[in-house]
Every structure is written in C-alpha cells, then in structure tokens.
C-alpha cells in the first residue's frame, strides 16, 4: 500500500538563506557564529592581493572570450570567425547534435570519429567532447578514467566546460582542495560576465517535469515569441504601453521567458519606452552603453543614462555611477570619495548591490579606512538578498581565511553557486528550446552535457527524458541506440547525482528503482537508504514508504511502532497523505490485533492481486470488442431498470378502480369469518 507520488546580520550570529537552486531542493540555512570570524591575522597582504581586485583595470570580455569552445556558434551563429578557429571541432559537434535529432546512428559514429581525430591532434575543445563521450558511454565504452583524462587535458587547454565537469567530479569525491581551485577560476569568469550596476535576474534552468509528469505550467511560460502572454504584451507595446515596452526589452536583454537574447531588439524597446517616460529603461540603457552590448561601448552615454535613472528614483543606478567613478570611466578621473558616496546612497535605499560595493571598498581600503569585519557584514547582507557577487567574495574569504576562518567546503559550495551562472549556462536555454520544438534527442544531449558539469536540474531533466520517452529519447549507447539496460543505468546514475544535490524526488525514484528492481537488481536495503535520504529532506512519500517497509520487515527491521511513527510523520508533513495513511494505520491495527490470521494474509496479498486485476481489466474489459459489448449490456440494464421504476411510480400515483379495496358486505364478512385463516 505504497503511495506513488507525493541574514539578517547581527554582531554574534549571521543567518542567511542561500539561493534556492531548484524547485525540489530545500533552502539551505547557514548559521555562523563569532567562532567563524577570523579576528586575527586577516590583514596580512590582503590590501595588495589581486584576489580581491573587484575594481581592477581589465576591460569586460565577450562571452566567446570567457567561454572558449562555447556551443553558441552552433545555436546562435553570429560570428563565423569563432568556428573558423576550430573547424573540425565545430563540424563534429554539429554532426553530434544533428545525429541526436534525427536518431542517425551512422552520423553519430562519424561525428565521434571526427572529434576523436581532432582530440588526438591536441584540440582542447575536441578533448572536452571526448570526455563527454566517454563519460556517457556514447558510441564508445563508458570509462570514467578516460573521461577524466580528456577533461583534464581540455581544462588545461582553457575549456571552461571541462573545468566545470572536473570540479564537480572532485566535489563528489570530497576532494575540496582541488574542487575549490577549479570553482574559484570558474566563479571569477562568471563574475566578469555580470552587470556593473545591478544584479541580473537569476535565469534558472527550467525543470521540464513535476514529479513524474511534464511541468506544463513552466513550459507554457518558456515558449518565447509563440507564448500567448508575450504576444499580448507585444500588442500592448505596439499600441504605446510604456510598461509593456520595458518588459519586452527586459526579456530580450536577459533572454527571459524562452526568448533568445537580442541586444539590438532590447535597445530598440528601451529607447521607445524612454520616449514614453518609462524611467526603468534608463538604467538598462546605461548598462548597454557601459558593456557595449549591441552598440559601441560609450561610458559617457552610460553615465548620462545612469544619472537620469538615479534622478528618477532608481537607486540601483547609483551603483553604476559609483563603479564608473572607481574605474575612472566616463568621468574626468577616478574619485573614490564620490564612488563611496554613491554606494552609500544605494545602501540607504536598501539596495543589495550597494551593500556589496561598499563591502569591496572596506575590504580593500579604497576611499575608506580598511575594515574587514565591516566588509563581511556588508557581504552577508548582500548575499542574503541573493547578490551572486557577494557569494563570490564570501567564498574567497572562506577560501583564504580573510575575515572568516578558512573552510574549503563552504568556499567550494559558494564558488559553485556563482560558477553555475557563467556564460556556459546558456546550454540550458538551448536545451529547453529543443524540447519545446519536440527535438527530444537534442535536448537530451544538451541536458546530459550540463548534467556532467554538475547542474542538478539538468541531471533530473535528462533522467526524466530517459524514463519518460524510453526508446523515443534517441539515447545513444555503445554500439547504437541504448538498450533498455543502458538507458535504465544512465537514468539511475543521473537521478542519483541529482539526489546527492538535494533533489528529494530523485532520491525517491532511486529508492523505487531498488525496491521494484527497475534497471537494477532488487535491493530492499539500498531502497531504504535512498528513502532515508529523501526523508531527511522532509519528503512525505519517503516517510510513508519507510513505514511500509518497517511494517513488512522489508530492508528494515519488523517494527510496528516505528511504522506508525513514520506514517504519522508522513501525514504531519503533507495533509494530502490522509487517505493512504488512514488505510495504512488500519492495516497496522489489523496486524497488531489479528496477527497470523486469514484477514492479515488477505491484506498482505493485495499488492500481488492488484496488478493482476489491473492487467485483467486492461486486457479483457477494456479490449475494444469486449468494451463495446459491456457498454451495450450496461445500457440495456439501465434502460430496463428505469422502465420498471417508472411503471411502479405510475401504479402508486394513479391506481385503477378494480385494484382499490372496497368495504365488504356484512353477510359476506360473516361467511368468510367461518373459514380458518
């Protein structure tokens, strides 16, 4: 009877919530005390350290420079010179994606051979792809050692996606000293792609499933220009609605709601919105000119737009102005005093980026007296508001022991959180586009690539596609399409990695796989371990399943008291579990009071009888011919019943005269009385 789907900163204590990474992952709460603060020796050399040079002299870089070997030229072919730099690599990558879309085994084999040739010649991006090929077992025998070796060579050659894969591998093996170095490099690259005046929206990968079903609500909002809501918004913008113009510009600038990023269109709509008096567009126009996004970089224009935005009460624009004064861009010269004043104005209006920028000034001693403790306070406030750069600074403090005691595990976690927002995260958008177009094979390749890089949502999405679509997933194995065993093993591995990162649904599915023997040998003990993992994340179904296993002694000791405790916990955790919990408690009562009786044996046989009844109904009752006959028979019985009911109602309401009893004559009554009754 198993259910199937169910900070604030103070002087002594800092409490803040990490950014929630997924729908299924529970929020992480970090509590830091004075013991975590490094009160001694934290000033040595930090003022001269480039590790904290947030306001360095380097110019912002393009995404192609930040993510060499990016898959962007395949999906957004704007710059042919990028492909010309590694023609064999991009040719092979294009063939891999085409083969996955078409389900063309021969083309996939040809693509892997082409990539392997380029890899042997020393191309780091081809080596990265071969690491992916060996890691997934696609047209080559799966080999963790060969995958690690290829990713290692690729990472040394500058491939950032391989660095992500290596960092995640080291993290899973608790090699925090190696993982923290890799994630630190990746997080620095990610930070260099962020905006200057305000934080960009968190573009989380979309979870294409909700439990075992497709997440139709989230997918509907990710259809880009085909979405009805977007079309209505676009119509309003064309009719002169300034707010609609701003929103459309925002969607194009950040690539939200399933739209491709298009800085030219964003600039067009922001300028139209400004003409209509929409002040929020001014700030983003300042960003566009400061970054040179779709236009030639012009810091003077950037300062003009940011100043106008600040005058309209958009206090986050103060951060951009302060940044320009720190760097000396668009102004006569650097002016740290003015920069601090602008950052303080942002802080006075509770802008998280203002707290972050002031924290950097206090950490470096720029325009203020150096105060690491004060900087830490500012960083914690900004991090509590979800500012990714603040997580980056806290990660560096945990990493180096500056301001906070050295803690490689915490540093690794924070670096990873920032690194996953790097330019390589665009893979998620392309994967979703492919899925929405019905190209499941291409979506699986893209999600599998991100899964290798450590993205939990991508791991669960890829696993769900394998389970949901089966042979239609276009899964490629060692010698062609995946066998059932290969597909189950791959899905099992992906679910397990997702469960390790806090996905309670994934842990539940792992438990079900072991319990029922799906894609692996049946193992009640390992099923119980997986359910325990899901239960630790307050999953009601896992609690129910643990109660059931205690009740029947499957993988856990036979213990009716513990079974009842787990059933009660399931109900406390989720009110919708009332019906199954009530039935389970009734089963417990029978087992306790009528042990070793026929009644208990009947209850125990229900799990075996139910599949047989279900199969009989499906194969016999719902068989087309039988279903038709059964339907006609039910209709006939219904008609006969209704006719009989109608006849009886007529008799009662309008009886005929001959049927009505009349008074007896006195002589007749006396004559009848003589007969015995």
pLDDT for position 291: 80
- Least confident range of 237-246, 268-277, 343-352: 343-352
Q: Of 402, 345, 360, 353, which Cα lies nearest the Cα of 382?
A: 353
H or E stretch covering 248: helix 242-254
pLDDT for position 327: 85
Q: Is the pLDDT of residue 52 over 50?
A: no
Please tell me the distance from the alpha carbon of residue 485 to that of residue 477, in angstroms, as a whole number. 10
Q: Which residues, including other chains, have CB under 8 Å from residue 591's CB and lie 6 or more apart? A: 551, 560, 600, 603
pLDDT for position 12: 27
- In the structure, what pLDDT confidence band is assigned to residue 665 with cuts at 50, 70 and 90? low
Average pLDDT over residues 314-322: 85
- In the structure, what pLDDT confidence band is assigned to residue 608 with cuts at 50, 70 and 90? low
How many residues are there in the chain? 677
Question: pLDDT tens across 81-110, in order?
Answer: 455 567 899 999 999 999 999 999 999 999
pLDDT for position 134: 97
Q: Of 97, 78, 26, which Cα lies nearest the Cα of 447?
A: 97
- Least confident range of 239-243, 449-453, 668-672: 668-672
Please report where in the chains the tokens 């005093």 appear, as a residue. Answer: 337
Q: Is the pLDDT of residue 32 over 80?
A: no
pLDDT for position 39: 52
pLDDT for position 617: 58
pTM: 0.75
Average pLDDT, whole number, for the chain?
80
Residue 472 in tokens: 């239609």
Report CA-CA distances (Å) from 343 to 193, 316, 321, 340, 391: 21, 9, 9, 5, 19
pLDDT for position 624: 54
pLDDT for position 26: 36
Question: pLDDT tens across 257-267, in order?
Answer: 778 778 888 88
Question: pLDDT tens across 611-640, in order?
Answer: 665 565 566 555 555 666 667 777 778 887
Q: What is the DSSP string of 72-140?
A: HHHHS---HHHHHHSHHHHHHHHHHHHHHHHT-HHHHHHHHHHHHHHHHTT-HHHHHHHHHHHHHTSSS
């Amino acid at each position: 009877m198993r259910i199937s789907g169910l900070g604030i900163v103070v002087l002594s204590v800092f409490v803040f919530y990490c950014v929630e990474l997924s729908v299924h992952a529970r929020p992480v709460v970090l509590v830091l005390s004075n013991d975590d603060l490094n009160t001694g020796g934290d000033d040595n050399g930090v003022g001269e350290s480039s590790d904290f040079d947030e306001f360095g002299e380097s110019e912002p870089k393009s995404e192609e420079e930040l993510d060499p070997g990016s898959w962007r030229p395949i999906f957004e072919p704007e710059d042919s010179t990028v492909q010309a730099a590694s023609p064999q690599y991009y040719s092979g990558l294009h063939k891999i994606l085409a083969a996955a879309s078409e389900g063309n085994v021969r083309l996939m084999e040809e693509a892997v051979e082409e990539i392997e040739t380029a890899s042997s010649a020393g191309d780091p991006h081809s080596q990265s792809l071969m690491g992916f090929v060996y890691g997934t077992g696609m047209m080559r025998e799966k080999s963790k050692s060969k995958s690690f070796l290829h990713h290692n060579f690729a990472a040394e050659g500058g491939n950032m996606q391989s660095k992500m894969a290596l960092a995640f591998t080291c993290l899973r093996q608790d090699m925090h000293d190696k993982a923290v170095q890799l994630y630190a490099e990746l997080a620095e690259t990610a930070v260099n792609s962020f905006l200057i005046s305000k934080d960009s929206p968190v573009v989380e990968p979309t979870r294409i499933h909700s439990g075992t079903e497709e997440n139709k609500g989230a997918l509907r909002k990710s259809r880009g220009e085909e979405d009805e809501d977007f079309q209505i918004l676009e119509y309003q913008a064309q009719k002169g609605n300034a707010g609609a113009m701003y929103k459309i510009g925002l969607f194009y600038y950040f690539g939200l709601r399933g739209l491709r990023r298009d800085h030219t269109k964003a600039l067009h709509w922001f300028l139209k919105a400004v003409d209509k008096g929409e002040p929020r567009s001014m700030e983003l126009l300042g960003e566009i000119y400061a970054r040179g996004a779709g236009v030639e970089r012009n810091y003077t224009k950037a300062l003009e737009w940011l100043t106008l935005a600040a005058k309209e009460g958009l206090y986050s624009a103060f951060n951009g102005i302060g940044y320009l004064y720190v760097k000396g861009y668009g102004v006569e010269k650097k002016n740290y005093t003015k920069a601090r004043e602008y950052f303080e104005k942002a802080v006075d209006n509770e802008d998280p980026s203002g707290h972050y920028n002031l924290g950097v000034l206090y950490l470096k001693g720029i325009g203020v007296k150096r105060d690491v403790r004060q900087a830490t306070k500012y960083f914690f406030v900004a991090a509590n508001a979800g500012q990714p750069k603040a997580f980056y600074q806290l990660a560096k403090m945990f990493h180096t022991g500056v301001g906070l005691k050295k803690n490689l595990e915490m540093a690794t976690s924070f670096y990873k959180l920032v690194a996953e927002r790097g330019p390589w995260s665009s893979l998620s958008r392309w994967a979703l586009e492919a899925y929405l177009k019905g190209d499941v094979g291409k979506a699986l390749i893209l999600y599998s690539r991100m899964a290798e890089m450590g993205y939990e949502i991508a791991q669960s999405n890829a696993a769900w596609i394998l389970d949901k679509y089966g042979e239609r997933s276009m899964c490629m194995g060692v010698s062609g399409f995946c066998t059932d065993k290969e597909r189950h093993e791959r899905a099992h591995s992906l679910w397990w990695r997702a469960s390790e990162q806090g996905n309670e649904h994934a842990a539940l599915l792992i438990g079900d796989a072991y319990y029922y023997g799906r894609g692996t040998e049946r193992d009640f003990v390992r099923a119980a371990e997986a359910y325990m993992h899901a239960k630790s994340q307050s999953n009601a179904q896992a609690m129910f399943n643990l109660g059931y296993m205690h009740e029947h002694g499957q993988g856990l000791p036979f213990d009716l008291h513990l079974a009842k405790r787990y059933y009660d916990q399931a109900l406390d955790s989720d009110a919708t579990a009332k019906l199954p919990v009530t039935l389970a408690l009734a089963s417990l009562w029978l087992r306790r009071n009528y042990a070793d009786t026929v009644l208990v044996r009947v209850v125990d046989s229900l799990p075996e009888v139910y599949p047989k009844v279900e199969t009989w109904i499906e194969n016999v009752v719902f068989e087309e011919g039988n279903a038709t006959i059964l339907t006609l028979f039910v209709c006939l019985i219904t008609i006969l019943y209704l006719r009989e009911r109608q006849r009886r109602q007529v008799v009662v309401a309008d009886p005929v005269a001959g049927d009505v009893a009349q008074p007896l004559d006195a002589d007749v009554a006396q004559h009848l009385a003589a007969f015995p009754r």
